[in-house]
Amino acid sequence: MSKMNNVSKSKLHGLWALTNRELKKWYKTPVVFILTLLQPIIWLGLLGNALNLGSLVGSSSLTIPPQVITELQLTPAQITVLQGFFSNIGDTIMQGTFGTTSYISFMAVGMIAFTALFTTMFSGMSVVWDRRLGFLNKALSTPVSRAVIILSKVLSATLRSIFQASIILIIAVPLGFQFGAAFTAVNILGVFAFLFLICMGLSSLFIAINIRSTRIETPMAVMNLLNLPLTFASSAFFPIEQMPGWLQAVATINPLSYTMNGMRQLLINSSIDYSQLALQYAYVGLFALVLTTVGIVLSWRFLNK
Amino acid sequence: MSNNAIEAEALTKVFNGSLVAVDHIDFSVRNGEIFGFLGPNGAGKTTTINMLITVLKPTEGKASILGYDIAKQNTQVRYSIGVVPQEYTADEDLTGYENILLCADLYGIQREVSKKRASELLELVELTAFKDKKVQTYSGGMRRRLELACGLINRPKVLFLDEPTLGLDVQTRAATWNYIKMLKKEFGMTLFMTTHYLEEADALCDRIAIIDHGKIIVVGSPTELKDSLGGDIITVAIKEDVDITELVERINHVKEVKKENGSYRIKSENGEITAPLIIESLRKEGHVVTRLSLTKPTLNEVYLQYTGKSMRDAEESGDSLYAKRMIMARRRH
């Protein structure tokens, strides 16, 4: 009855079908789709503008007081030079701290990584739903490979993150995002590469955490515990160098920091330090490799009970 | 290959090193028969199915499906079986048609083949009109039919059904029974099903295994099992106040006669034949029969005889209870 010649024997068969299943749930449900787009807009619009550190230290707040001019008997020429110096102080501080004069540009890149974190967390939780609703068992009774079941989750989260990152970038431009001097269109591919690696790693991590849970409450608690430290102990909102020592220690090993710093080099910095960039790719790449391997090995074990 | 579609030998599953869910069970399912697994909650039915469909690994013992070992040749097993799970596993956000194609993709069936089969199967389970509607708009019966269609997409030789009519209304249950009978008749499929509805097992299954506490207690056809209780029960009352025990005992087929509250409780094989004989014999002796009733034993009696009468709900694990509640909650929508 079952004719084997109608059947694909590739190890990866079903990968796209399962990935597409996850993606369809997202793009075919308008509410979910719009909400995932709205979230970064709100974050960027609200936080990016509310925390506008640029205007805090910007030129408008720094003028030479009249007493100083009379006291030092400054000539108009000297005043212009000094005024010029003062109005550049803000930009100099911003450039030195954030690598760009525009805080919203700095934060937009943080938002991209942050969105990747959230998307992968939810994809990790969807394993629990699949188990709950019996889909996992059903898939396990078919010839589809166990690794493919896991990889499809990883892949769908990655694709979603890349799409959302592009949206964030597009939205950020009218909100004041400034590309750095070193930016070329090719750098976008470099950003996607960073996102691909970090999403592979993170989503494998979250799937491995959730693979044994049969109830949704456990992963929710774990995710809540992890998400704020991962976000704030990173360079999402603030450069690591300005953090207290203990936080710096956490942030320096946080792969999200490497991802964001790397993406900032590609997008907003005035020049690219290629040895740093190589290090950032290597770190995030290693993170992805190790966690994807661990995730798949663990999942394999638990799916083959 | 033998005549058996499924063979299990000392099949055992122990969870967490101590909880024995299935305890050295042996059974075989013949090619082309409907085999029912009957037992109280927590008896080990679903665990057994999960081992046979290669989702769980047996702790001990072995089993084979169509001659393929479930542990060593699980890929071959997976290609030759279909599974209709207890839960509604179809994706609510996708349409019925998309769900069937997804199942086909899991078997690596080529698209042009799977499209044709999906249409045929949708026709078979009478969902063609709804194929492009999202599954969240389906009723319970429609979803059950969709699960059935998904389970058939790879044209399995052996189909596993886990509680196929759980929570369905009477009409849908009857329709599901018809589908199951048709699969056996039209396609010569072997069906393995679990149920705790006794009338379902009685109506559908060629043979039944009653399982409790992880062990198979008895295997046989519904008729054999019912007969094992000692046959039908005929209750007779006569007008006269005389003992007719000896008289009745001499009648063909009668196995046992007991006087109870002024009437006689007679155990006999083939009750329909024996009852007229009893009336005739009593008349010949001049007795007037005032009342006669015939009771055929049902699987209910068989089941209770073998599994005892206590309720088992308390033995269900927290997780499976929680899962059931989730299913209920989903169904209420």
Range among A66-75, A241-250, B171-180 rated most confident: B171-180
Q: How far is B309 from chain A (nearest CA, A)?
A: 31
Which residues, in sequence order, are CB contacts of B238 under 8 Å at separation 6+? B244, B282, B287, B288, B289, B290
Work out the average pLDDT over A74-98: 77
**For A256, how many CA atoms within 13 A lie in the half-sphere containing its CB?**
30
What's the CA gap between B39 and B44, in Å, rounded? 8
How confident is the model at residue A94, as a pLDDT? Answer: 75
How confident is the model at residue A59, as a pLDDT? Answer: 53
Whether residue A2 has pLDDT greater than 60: no
Same domain, A162 and A204: yes
Torsions phi, psi for B220 (to 5 deg): 175, 175
What's the CA gap between B30 and B271, in Å, rounded? 31
The H or E element containing residue B158 is strand B158-162
Torsions phi, psi for B215 (to 5 deg): -125, 145
Under the banding of pLDDT at 50, 70 and 90, the label for residue B311 is very low
Whether residue B36 has pLDDT greater than 90: yes
> What are B230-239's pLDDT values in tens digits?
778 888 998 8
Work out the average pLDDT over B82-100: 91
Residue of B nearest to A27 (CA): B93
Which residues on A lie below 8 Å from B323 (Cβ)?
Answer: 132, 214
Residues forming beta bridges with residue B62, ordered by sequence position = B9
Going by C-alpha positions, the residue among A182, A191, A199 that lies closest to residue A255 is A199
Which residues, in sequence order, are CB contacts of A155 under 8 Å at separation 6+? A15, A19
Work out the average pLDDT over B112-139: 93
Q: Is B48 on the interface with A (CB under 8 A)?
A: no
Interface test with A, best of B105, B162, B320 (most A CBs within 10 A): B105
Q: Is the residue at A66 inside a domain?
A: yes
Interface test with B, best of A142, A145, A218, A303 (most B CBs within 10 A): A142
The residue that leads in pLDDT, B265 or B132, is B132
How confident is the model at residue A277, as a pLDDT? Answer: 95
Helix crossing, B140-151 with B96-106: angle to 10°?
30
Place of tokens 């010569």: B188
Tell me the pLDDT of chain A averaged across its residues: 83
Number of neighbouring beta carbons within 10 Å of residue A120:
26
Q: Is the residue at A157 inside a domain?
A: yes
How confident is the model at residue A6, as a pLDDT? Answer: 63
Q: Is the residue at A212 inside a domain?
A: yes
Q: Is B111 on the interface with A (CB under 8 A)?
A: no
Q: Is B16 helix (H, G, I), strand (E, B) or coil?
A: coil
Considering CB atoms only, which of A25, A133, A143 is closest to B108? A143
Same domain, A82 and A123: no
Whether residue B328 has pLDDT greater than 60: no
Same domain, A74 and A139: no
Task: Sort strands B158-162 and B190-195 into parallel, antiparallel or unpaired.
Answer: parallel
Q: Is the residue at A59 inside a domain?
A: yes
SS (H, E, C) A4-15: HHHECCCCCCCH
The single-letter DSSP state of residue B234 is E
The reply to whether residue A13 touches residue B105, judged by beta carbons under 8 angstroms, is: yes
Work out the average pLDDT over B282-295: 89
The reply to whether residue A17 touches residue B98, judged by beta carbons under 8 angstroms, is: no
Tell me the pLDDT of chain B averaged across its residues: 86
Please answer whether residues B85 and B162 qualify as being in contact, where contact means their C-beta atoms are separated by less than 8 angstroms. yes
Q: How far is B102 from chain A (nearest CA, A)?
A: 6
How confident is the model at residue B317, as a pLDDT? Answer: 45
How confident is the model at residue B332, as a pLDDT? Answer: 44
For residue B62, give Cα distances in angstroms to A138, A146, B36, B69.
Answer: 21, 22, 20, 7
How confident is the model at residue A282, as a pLDDT? Answer: 96
Residues forming beta bridges with residue B208, ordered by sequence position = B36, B220
What's the CA gap between A267 and A178, in Å, rounded? 9
Q: Which two tokens stand for residue B294?
A: 């015939």
- CB contact burial B37-54 (16+ within 10 A = b; e otherwise): bbbbbbbbbbbbbbbbbb
The reply to whether residue A215 touches residue B106, judged by beta carbons under 8 angstroms, is: no
> What are B153-185's pLDDT values in tens digits?
999 999 999 988 887 888 888 888 998 999 999
How confident is the model at residue A56, as a pLDDT? Answer: 63
- Determine the straight-line distance between the first and last CA of chain B, rounded to whole angstroms: 47
How confident is the model at residue B319, as a pLDDT? Answer: 46
Q: Is B113 on the interface with A (CB under 8 A)?
A: yes
How confident is the model at residue B113, as a pLDDT? Answer: 92
> What are A96-143's pLDDT values in tens digits?
777 777 788 888 888 888 888 888 888 888 888 888 888 998 999 999
What CA dihedral angle connects B100, B101, B107 and B109, to 10 degrees? 130
Q: Is A216 on the interface with B (CB under 8 A)?
A: no
Place of tokens 């059903």: A138
* Domain coverage including residue A85: 51-98
Q: Is B13 on the interface with A (CB under 8 A)?
A: no
Q: Is A124 helix (H, G, I), strand (E, B) or coil?
A: helix
Question: Alpha carbon A37 to chain centroid distance?
Answer: 14
What's the CA gap between B326 and B247, in Å, rounded? 60
The single-letter DSSP state of residue A46 is I
Same domain, A161 and A108: yes
How confident is the model at residue A249, as a pLDDT? Answer: 85
Same domain, A216 and A67: no
Work out the average pLDDT over A281-298: 92
Work out the average pLDDT over B212-218: 91
Query: Which percentage of chain B shows pLDDT scores above 70?
Result: 92
Please answer whether residues B293 and B272 qualify as being in contact, where contact means their C-beta atoms are separated by less than 8 angstroms. no
Under the banding of pLDDT at 50, 70 and 90, the label for residue B215 is very high
Which residues on A lie below 8 Å from B93 (Cβ)?
Answer: 24-25, 28-29
CA pseudo-torsion sign B7, B154, B92, A159: positive
Residue of B nearest to A128 (CA): B323
Q: Is A133 on the interface with B (CB under 8 A)?
A: yes
Please answer whether residues B36 and B160 qualify as being in contact, where contact means their C-beta atoms are separated by less than 8 angstroms. no
> What are A205-218's pLDDT values in tens digits?
888 888 888 777 88
How confident is the model at residue B176, as a pLDDT? Answer: 87
Same domain, A23 and A129: yes
For residue A283, give Cα distances in angstroms to A203, A289, A290.
Answer: 17, 10, 11
Q: How far is A36 from chain B (nearest CA, A)?
A: 17
Whether residue B321 has pLDDT greater than 70: no
What's the CA gap between A24 and B38, in Å, rounded? 39
Q: Is the residue at A12 inside a domain?
A: no
Same domain, A123 and A152: yes
Same domain, A75 and A167: no
Whether residue B25 has pLDDT greater than 70: yes
Same domain, A37 and A170: yes
Q: Last residue of a domain, which of A68, A98, A128? A: A98
Same domain, A42 and A56: no
A29-33, B48-52, B54-58, B88-92: lowest mean pLDDT where?
A29-33
What's the CA gap between B301 and B308, in Å, rounded? 10
How confident is the model at residue B33, as a pLDDT? Answer: 94
Q: Which domains does chain B have, with CATH numbers?
A: 4-225+305-332 (3.40.50.300), 230-296 (3.30.70.100)
How confident is the model at residue A57, as a pLDDT? Answer: 63
Q: Is B71 on the interface with A (CB under 8 A)?
A: no
What's the CA gap between B49 and B161, in Å, rounded? 9
Same domain, A33 and A55: no
How confident is the model at residue B318, as a pLDDT? Answer: 43
Number of neighbouring beta carbons within 10 Å of residue A304:
13
**For B60, how many CA atoms within 13 A lie in the half-sphere containing its CB?**
12
Structurally, how many domains does chain A consist of?
2
How confident is the model at residue A46, as a pLDDT? Answer: 76
What's the CA gap between B212 and B206, in Å, rounded? 20
Number of neighbouring beta carbons within 10 Å of residue A234:
27
> What are A142-187's pLDDT values in tens digits?
998 888 888 899 899 999 988 888 888 888 888 888 888 888 889 9
CA pseudo-torsion sign A271, A276, A277, A278: positive
Residue of A nearest to B323 (CA): A132
Interface test with B, best of A5, A22, A32, A133 (most B CBs within 10 A): A133
Same domain, A89 and A131: no
Q: Is the residue at A6 inside a domain?
A: no
ipTM computed for the complex = 0.76
A–B CB contacts, 8 A cutoff, strictly below: 103
Task: Sort strands B207-212 and B215-220 into parallel, antiparallel or unpaired.
Answer: antiparallel
Which residues, in sequence order, are CB contacts of B126 under 8 Å at separation 6+? B145
